[in-house]
A and B are shown apart, each in its own frame.
Chain A
Amino acid sequence: MDSWAHYLDQVLFAVLPYVAVFTLILVTIQRYRAQRFSYSSLSSQFLENRQHFWGLVPFHYGILTIIAGHVVAFLIPREILAWNSHPLRLYILELSALVFALMTLIGLLAGMVRRWTNPKIRIVTSASDWIIYLLLFVQIVSGIYVAVFYPWGSSWFSTSAAPYLWSLVKLNPDVSFVASMPHMVKLHIINAFLLIGFFPFTRLVHILVIPNPYLWRKPQVVRWYGKPKETAGGGA
Chain B
Amino acid sequence: MNVRSQIAMVFHLDKCIGCHTCSIACKNVWTDRKGTEYMWWNNVETKPGTGFPTQWENQDKYNGGWVTFQEKLELRSTSKTKTVFNIFHNPHQPSMDDYYEPWTYDYQHLFNAPEGNDQPTAIPLSLVTGKPMETIEAGPNWDDDLGGSPVYAANDPNLKNLPEDQRDQLFAIERLVYFYFPRICNHCLNPSCVAACPSGALYKRGEDGIVLVDQQRCRAWRACVAACPYKKVFYNWFTGKSEKCILCFPRLETGQAPACFHSCVGRIRYLGVLLYDAERIEEVAKRPDIELIDAHRAMILDPHDPEVIAAARTNGISDGVIESAQKSPVYQFVKVWKLALPPHIEYRTLPMLFYVPPLSPVMARRDGDTVDHVSDNLFHDIDESRVPMQFLANLFGAGHEGKVRYALAKQKAVRLYRRAVTVGDITMAMAERALREADCTVDEAEEIYRLTSLCTFDDRFVIPPAQREQAIEMMKDPHEHRQGAGFGFLTGPRRGL
Contacts and interface: CB of A to CB of B under 8 A. Distances in A.
A59 B496 CA distance: 21
Given A214-B198, A225-B207, A38 B494 contact: yes
B31 interface: no
Nearest to A124: B237
Contact of B219 (A49, A209, A221, A226): A209
B95 A214 contact: no
A201 to B, nearest CB: 6
Given A40-B239, A46-B237, A214-B198, A235 B75 contact: yes
B80 A215 contact: yes
B475 interface: yes
Interface in A188-205: 201-203
B136 to A, nearest CB: 15
A172 interface: no
Contact of A45 (B95, B197, B219): B95
By size class, the interface of chain B is 35 or more
Tell me what chain B mostly uses at the interface: helix, strand, loop, or mixed: loop
Contacts, number: 171
Given A215-B80, A235-B282, A236-B74, A45 B222 contact: yes
B372 to A, nearest CB: 49
A120 B128 CA distance: 6
A235 B199 contact: no
A220 B195 contact: yes
A221 B95 contact: no
B59 interface: no
Given A49-B95, A234-B73, A235-B282, A206 B219 contact: yes
Contact of A221 (B93, B128, B203): B203
B471 A225 contact: yes
A44 B83 CA distance: 18
B487 interface: no
A220 B73 contact: no
Contacts of A219: 194-195
B129 interface: yes
B219 A201 contact: no
Contacts of B80: 214-215
B315 to A, nearest CB: 10
Given A234-B73, A234-B195, A235-B190, A41 B220 contact: yes
A37 interface: yes
B200 A213 contact: yes
B215 interface: yes
Interface string A124-165: 101010000000000000000000000000000000000000
Nearest to A203: B496
A233 B282 contact: yes
A220 B194 contact: yes
B241 interface: yes
Interface in A14-37: 31, 35-37
A56 B496 contact: no
A101 to B, nearest CB: 18
A39 interface: yes
B491 interface: yes
A127 to B, nearest CB: 10
A47 B282 CA distance: 35
Contact of B497 (A38, A41, A227, A236): A38
Interface of B: 66, 72-75, 79-80, 83-84, 87-90, 93-97, 128-131, 190-192, 194-195, 197-200, 202-207, 215-222, 225, 235, 237-241, 278-279, 281-282, 285, 348, 468, 471, 475, 489, 491, 493-497
Give the top 5 A-B pairs by smallest Cβ distance, nearest first.
Answer: A235-B73, A211-B198, A219-B195, A224-B206, A40-B240
12 contacts: A41-B220, A41-B240, A47-B237, A49-B97, A211-B219, A213-B200, A214-B197, A215-B80, A230-B206, A232-B281, A235-B74, A236-B73
Interface of A: 31, 35-49, 52-53, 56-57, 59-61, 119-120, 122-124, 126, 128, 201-203, 206, 209-211, 213-215, 217, 219-227, 229-230, 232-236
